[in-house]
Amino acid sequence: MVFGHVMQAQFTADVAIIPQPQSLINKPGKFVLNKHTRIIIRNNNEELKRVAKDLSETIGRYLNFSPAVEFKPQGLFPRNAVILELADGTQESYTLEITSSNIRIRGQMQGVFYGIQTLYQLFPVKNSTAKITLPALSIEDEPEFPWRGFMLDVSRNFFSVQDIKRYLDFLAFHKINVFHWHLTDDQGWRIEIKKYPRLTELGAWRNNTLLELSGKQWSFQPHGGFYTQEQIKEIVAYAAERFITVVPEIEMPGHSTAALASYPELSCANSSLPVSVNWGVHKDIYCAGKGTTFKFLEDVLSEVFSLFPSEYIHIGGDEAPKDRWKECPHCQQKISREKLKNEEALQGYFINRIADFSASHGKKIIGWDENLEGGLSENVTVMCWRGFDGAIHAARKNHDVIMTHSKFTYFDHYQSEPSLEPLAWAGLVPNGYTRLRKVYDFNPVPPGLTESESKHIIGVQANLWTEYIRYTDHLDYMVFPRLSALAEVMWTDGKNKNWNDFLRRLETQKDRYASMGIHYSNSNNNVYYTIQLDSLQKTATIQLETDSYDPEIYYSLDGSEPSANSLRYTVPFTVELNTNIKAASFRSGKRISKVNARSIPGRMPVTN
Ligand code: TNX
């Protein structure tokens, strides 16, 4: 599917690239990068020069010596060189050839950049100062999906310019090309708008924040912050250097309390509201009947358009209760004047009007899947978070679709059993946590679509809502390693994915995380129980598993802390009722997970 011929990627013990390239062939021999190695660029191109310099600096961090960058358009390829060359091909594809005499990366600019990201994953994890030895190989690579996104909510909790840049580095490392920046919500407006200064003077601050900081103590403290337009430009430029498009989200008509608090005339009843301190769905939303609202939003969007070169702008549209609109004379008048069926159709009118305005400025809009309920213009791209049904419906109506199915891609959800995790967004259903395997196995193309309909599924995105996440260590913990699993869903053809090999590569990836200062989670090592009760025999059969590489699980039945001297788990076992089990996973005798305990009561319904 990818290169006309599908080449099953070959997995080797020492090469650990995430996301797995589409085709990787190991060759005999190795290349040694040392202080005599040069970087050659074959095209006189400023961007290529910049990327080559970054490569040189990165090598410098290993060797204490940065190779010279030389422009050499023709001639034989010199020995002991890294050669970067612009070539035909699709925008993001690249080839990477390593022989004993040189390294050669070819592609369009973005492809060359990705080739370098892959090369970095062949470098030793720990910096060494002597030389870098690389295995000879040949990689042909290109992504499965053009939209590979990551969303960060900076409204519920604010993160600094530095924090955002740090994340942009991590995204580039995972070959993710979209940063969806959730800039406005009920709890804070985070983008400076010159024409409406109160949005950030007032709307960026809230008196309290609800956050469980330590143990069961709820702390209340003022919270806020915003990005100036200069800072926004700085971030957009930083992202562009990493081939990441920043897509801002300006929420409407719901999740707009911070704006309504700043400009009460934008609500149906001119209500005076504080910037919200509570999470959830709020009933006060922009009035759809007043011209004031559209004037305001068009002014805001005009400033937004000028700051973000992205052709896409996200306008939200989720979770907008219609209570206020039902009672509002302006909205009701609008419904009858525009001959709309009901308040849902009024949202359709609202969004389509914004879509038309955006189109007149050369911008396309994206909205959450709720927008489908109001009859949406075809040119609106739909971001599907509530499941596959919306995606199927949207694709059949010719909308492009980005899959952010909350059961697979919401990294604010628990990543293992809630009892073992810091407070997170409660799983919607029992066992509703999103463990690593679930993310890895996500197939973003909904079942039942025809081939032409499935072309509308343009991508996949991880969403990080930050209601319960105040600090970057915690952010890292929620995102990694699940982002590595999702990066492989985004990039790698399903045929080239392999769960066990992913886990092998993840071991190296975690070492890389550590060297990059990422506070990743080891929750994938936690033990999961499947318990089957036999009420006739009065026994329970216990199955244990983990999402860890080469798992060694030990458990105890006597209440003791499991150790490498406890019972070793190999196959499901049977216990009497009223047994307390404690299980954990181990590597080389050392515990690498939390201890997960279960009591098998006297009577129990069948669970899993
Ligand atoms: C739903 S997803 C929301 C967000 C919350 C999130 C928590 C979406 C479009 N809306 O406002 O933060 O759930 O998981």
Per-position DSSP letters for 106-149, written without gaps between them: EESHHHHHHHHHHHHTTS-SS--SS-EEEEEEEEEE--S-SEEE
Does pLDDT of 191 surpass 70? yes
β-sheet bridge partners, residue 86? 107
The helix/strand/coil state of 168 is: helix
Does pLDDT of 214 surpass 80? no
Does pLDDT of 128 surpass 80? no
Report the alpha-carbon distance of residue 143 to residue 91 in Å, rounded: 10
Does pLDDT of 4 surpass 70? no
pLDDT given at position 220 = 64
Report the alpha-carbon distance of residue 152 to residue 122 in Å, rounded: 29
Ligand 1 centroid from CA 461, angstroms? 14
Ligand 1 centroid from CA 425, angstroms? 10
β-sheet bridge partners, residue 583? 555, 596
CA atoms within 13 A on the CB side of 436: 28
Does pLDDT of 543 surpass 80? yes
Does pLDDT of 1 surpass 50? no
Residue 319 CB burial class (10 angstroms; 0-12, 13-18, ≥19): middle
192 lines ligand 1 (CB under 6 A): no
Q: Whose CA is nearest to atom 13 of ligand 1?
A: 465
303 lines ligand 1 (CB under 6 A): no
> What is the biggest distance separating any 2 CA atoms in the chain, rounded to whole angstroms?
81
Does pLDDT of 333 surpass 70? yes
Q: Whose CA is nearest to atom 5 of ligand 1?
A: 465
User: Considering the chain, what percentage of its residues have pLDDT values greater than 90?
Assistant: 84
Does pLDDT of 285 surpass 50? yes
Does pLDDT of 213 surpass 90? no
DSSP 241-283: HTT-EEEEEEEESSS-HHHHHH-GGGBTT----PPP-S-S--S
pLDDT given at position 395 = 96
363: CB partners within 8 A, 6+ apart: 305, 310, 311, 312, 313
Question: Position of tokens 């870098």?
Answer: 132
Q: Mind listing the pLDDT tens digit for each residue in 372-401?
A: 988 889 899 999 999 999 999 999 999 999
User: Residue 66 has which token pair?
Assistant: 């940065």
Angle at 586 between CA 501 and CA 578, to 5 degrees: 115
Does pLDDT of 9 surpass 50? no
Phi, psi of 460 (to 5 degrees): -135, 145
pLDDT given at position 209 = 78
368 lines ligand 1 (CB under 6 A): yes
Ligand 1 centroid from CA 516, angstroms? 29
Report the alpha-carbon distance of residue 455 to residue 495 in Å, rounded: 18
Residue type, 38: R
Q: Is the peptide bond before 481 cis (omega within 30 degrees of 0)?
A: yes
123 lines ligand 1 (CB under 6 A): no
Ligand 1 centroid from CA 162, angstroms? 25
DSSP 302-348: HHHHHH---SEEEEE--S---HHHHH-HHHHHHHHHTT-SSHHHHHH
User: Considering the chain, what percentage of its residues have pLDDT values greater than 70?
Assistant: 94
Q: Whose CA is nearest to atom 10 of ligand 1?
A: 318
389: CB partners within 8 A, 6+ apart: none
Residue type, 322: K
pLDDT given at position 13 = 53
* Number of Cβ within a 10 Å radius of residue 385: 22
Does pLDDT of 604 surpass 60? no
Q: Mind listing the pLDDT tens digit for each residue in 62-93?
A: 888 899 999 999 888 889 999 999 999 999 99
| Ligand 1, atom nearest to 383 Cα | 9
Once rounded to an integer, what is the mean pLDDT over residues 149-165? 97
Least-confidence region, from 119-133, 174-188, 222-236, 583-597 = 119-133
Q: Among 314, 318, 351, say which to mutate for ligand 1: greatest number of ligand atoms within 8 Å of CB.
A: 318
pLDDT given at position 309 = 98
339: CB partners within 8 A, 6+ apart: none
Binned at pLDDT 50, 70 and 90, residue 6 comes out as very low
Does pLDDT of 567 surpass 80? yes
| Ligand 1, atom nearest to 370 Cα | 9
425 lines ligand 1 (CB under 6 A): yes
Is the Cβ–Cβ distance between 257 and 283 less than 8 Å? Answer: no
Least-confidence region, from 38-47, 90-99, 528-537 = 528-537
Residue 154 CB burial class (10 angstroms; 0-12, 13-18, ≥19): buried
Q: H/E element holding 178?
A: strand 178-182
Q: Which residues are catalytic?
A: 185, 255, 319
Is the Cβ–Cβ distance between 172 and 242 less than 8 Å? Answer: yes
Q: Is the peptide bond before 321 cis (omega within 30 degrees of 0)?
A: no
Q: Whose CA is nearest to atom 8 of ligand 1?
A: 318
Once rounded to an integer, what is the mean pLDDT over residues 133-150? 97
Does pLDDT of 156 surpass 90? yes
442 lines ligand 1 (CB under 6 A): no
pLDDT given at position 3 = 35
Phi, psi of 336 (to 5 degrees): -75, -35
Binned at pLDDT 50, 70 and 90, residue 431 comes out as low
Q: Mind listing the pLDDT tens digit for each residue in 337-361?
A: 999 999 999 999 999 999 999 999 9
Least-confidence region, from 120-129, 222-231, 445-454, 498-507 = 120-129
| Ligand 1, atom nearest to 463 Cα | 2
Q: H/E element holding 48?
A: helix 46-63
Q: H/E element holding 502?
A: helix 499-515
* Number of Cβ within a 10 Å radius of residue 229: 15
- Mean pLDDT score across all residues of the chain: 93
Q: Among 370, 434, 465, 467, say which to mutate for ligand 1: greatest number of ligand atoms within 8 Å of CB.
A: 465
Q: Whose CA is nearest to atom 4 of ligand 1?
A: 465
Task: Using CA atoms of 476, 478, 483, 484 in order, give the dihedral in degrees to the nearest 10.
Answer: 80
360: CB partners within 8 A, 6+ apart: none
pLDDT given at position 381 = 97
pLDDT given at position 127 = 67
319 lines ligand 1 (CB under 6 A): yes
| Ligand 1, atom nearest to 318 Cα | 9
pLDDT given at position 606 = 52
Does pLDDT of 10 surpass 50? no
Q: Among 256, 319, 386, say which to mutate for ligand 1: greatest number of ligand atoms within 8 Å of CB.
A: 319
